[in-house]
Each structure stands twice: as C-alpha cells, then as structure tokens.
Structure 1
C-alpha cells in the first residue's frame, strides 16, 4: 500500500478494481422465492464513541459564531438512513473490488457494491430506515469545533479515503456544532432484500459487526475532526416466511452471532489480499476510538 502524505484526519486505502463487471442480476420475484437469497430486517443499536453531528448545512449564528445544527423534521431529530447507507457503502467499497466513483453511472461498469446498494440499472437491495430521536431521551449539546476543510482535497485515484478515529485536523476557523454526545444510543433498522450469503458477509464486515473483525465506523459531519466515531451492535435479524405466512425466523444472541460470523467467513474466503490489508488497517485504526 502506497504511503500517501495526507493531512491529519483521514487516510487512504487501496482501491482494487474488478477484473470484470458484475454479470448477474437479481430479479424482483427471486427476492421472495429463491432459497439462496436472504430477505429480512437487521435490528440493533448504534453507540457514539465521539460526538456525532449530522446536518444538511443548517446553521445559525450563536455568540457570533456559525453553529451547525442537527437535522430536524416535525420537531424530531432525524438521522437520515441515506447518510448511514452512504457511510457503510464507503466501507463496502474499501473491502471489495470496486470501480472508482467516476464509473458510478456507467451501466457497463457495475461492481458488487453498486449491484447491492443500487445504480442506474440496479435497484437497491438495502434500505436504511431514518433514525428518529426523541430529544427528551437523547439530549444534545453545543461544542467548539473548526471549519471542516482548510484546503481542496486532492484526488488520490485509485485509492479510497477513510477517516481516522485517532488523528484529526487542527484548523484555524472556529465554528460550533450541535451534537449528540458520547455514549448516546440510537436504534437502527436495515431492510435486506435478496442478498446472497457472500453479499451478506460483505455488508456485515462493512458494518463492523463480524466477530473477530469488529471495528468502529466514522459517520456524519466533522469526520476529519475528532467527531463521528460510532459502533454498530446487532440485536436480532428477522426473516419472514417467503410465502408471507405469519411464521418467521428470528436470529438473536448466540445464533445471530454465529450467522453473522458464517456470512463473514463466506465472504472472506474469496477476499483479495489488498482488501484484507484494508480490513486490517481499518481495524487497527479503530482500536483507540473509544479511548482503548
């Protein structure tokens, strides 16, 4: 892996491109009848290890300083599912053979990640619910921060930029952030629509929940600052009966951990050495994100 000289706050991992585009498609009807495809809902919680801010550039001036506000709808704090999906997609790309973003609208260059998360010719097989937060249960706070970027980021093709849990940029222009503080717990739900066991393994690895390969992710605003470190914890996986009867299978506790580990291993068996190196680098950087 080339050692790039980059500003503090982020680092680069190698992007390994596929030798050929994804050749198979999943028909909508197969999602519900093919026994090799999984359909269900992953439910769990997210714990913040660093202050978390997510916003659509909403801000106000407080004490003559611009203050970035958390996103709200109807009086509730909302973490859009699209932001979670985008963050996890980046880790999926780092852990798989993926094309550069320049090819994301090229129907002839569809990689495994875009075939799962959606592209021009592929509907998404992952849906992330918005996280609705009751301010009475999760209090926010205002913290001092810095302007997010002090320079234009250089394109490091063919690498992928990830954000460090340990290092952060020291910038000049001060701003304020409204955040969810550390040790805040958020419930999440991910709807899975027709993934193979190997594809499930990639999703689980990229979410940092595979036993022996766990790590924290960076999400939200200020990832290059000392913000946005979170840990996903799965609680149960609900698989409805494909005939749409009332019966359903629920994976939880030990059975859930075994299922996640089995899917992760199925993916790891065919994982390239470059992607394994990326995984090791991500895990190593994550080790101190909660003060460990």
Structure 2
C-alpha cells in the first residue's frame, strides 16, 4: 500500500510516468542514499573537499584516498521539509591536485509533499497549483508599501495536499500564530478542498504603522499529523521611499534603526 501511495503521489505531483521511476520520499522523511564515487584516473587521488548545490544535504565520505579506478561509497542525507516534486542536486568532489578535474555526481529523487505551500500571483487562479516552479514551496514573502498605502500589502497563499494525502475530513486551518501588528491572516476552504490564506494589512488606515524593514514570523496551524505548523517569514519594508526600493530578502537584515542596510538592497519580490 505504501509503494502504491508513493507512486500515485509522484504522478499527482509531477504528472509524469517517467518521473515515477525516481525514488520517492514523503516530505517528513529525509532522503538517504549511497552514491558511488569512482576514481577515473590511472593514479591515486585524494578528495580535498566536497561541495553540494544545496546546504540541506549532509555528505559523508570516509575514504578520501582512492586508488586508480577504485570505487567507494559516499553517504548522503537531504532534508525534504518544505519541498515538493523533483529534486536534483549536483555534488562536486574537489581533488588535492588542482591539475585534475573534480569528480561530479548527481542525486535525483521526488518529494511527496505533506502540504503544498504556494504563492498565488495577482490574477492567477487560486484553485490551481502554480505551473511556475518559482511560485511553489514559498515560505518567505516580501512586501513593501508607503505608510499611507498599506492596502497594497497583500499575499495569497494556497495550501493543498496531493490527491489521497489529505487528513481525514480534509485539510483544515485552526488558526495563525502572529504577534506583530502589521498583518492579518484569513483562511478560506475553497471548492477544490485547498485552503486560501490571505495575508493583508491588519488596518489599511493605520495611523502609526511600524516603519522601516520588518522581518516577522507567522505560523499557520493545521490538522495535518506530519505538518501541524507551517512557519512563514514575512519581510516588509514600510517607508515613504518604498516605491523606489527593490528588496532582496536573502541579502538583507534590518539595520540598527530598523532601516535598510547601508550597502543597499537589490533583487525583486513576487
């Protein structure tokens, strides 16, 4: 039954029978595998360092000295939390001799999400999972507004489970943990059994909104046994120059006075 569920889950998430050939793991289960590392050279080599395209992976290679054409096993573990669909990570083994090309490896698998957390773009259908990968599995939201235009603060977040994976009685939201005063959150069950969470200004006419760069956490509480808490981060910039400011949430933290860092902010928000 578990194998059948995972197969159905892969097809539901990816819509491709070809991808069903990849190993599949539920979101709450870490991906563990063993990769074969082969010395392609006719001389002994030493692995100096290992680099992965994702910091969520843990790699262990006990044998760093490989004889010519020798093959050894490298253990890999990846955290699947807050991910869904096909995963593909590159791994590079750098050698002590810089004259030799590094050894490149690739790991591929499928994550069957417990709950899919997606950003719904303005004007997009909230009852459909976004086709664009960049709008899927979004746990950080960026917004900006002038103090007199707080009505511009609005994010639509769709929560859904793959077919057959919802809790008994369907996915439900029991509340939101949030201690700030800028946002309010409204959860509505949609016709397709997904849940639309709308984050918007608590009071669009607020006379004294918090100014500067804010980074706050909101936790959505659900009835899913494997994902009862969905932790979201909201980065908001409230200031008179918000319209001319571009925010990169991965490159900034609030300054000492709550303003933007002196080096400036670059990037884009959804």
**TM range, smaller chain:** under 0.3
Larger radius of gyration: 2
Which structure: greater strand fraction?
A: 2
- Greater RCO, CA 8 A, separation 6+: 1
TM-score normalised to structure 2 length: 0.20
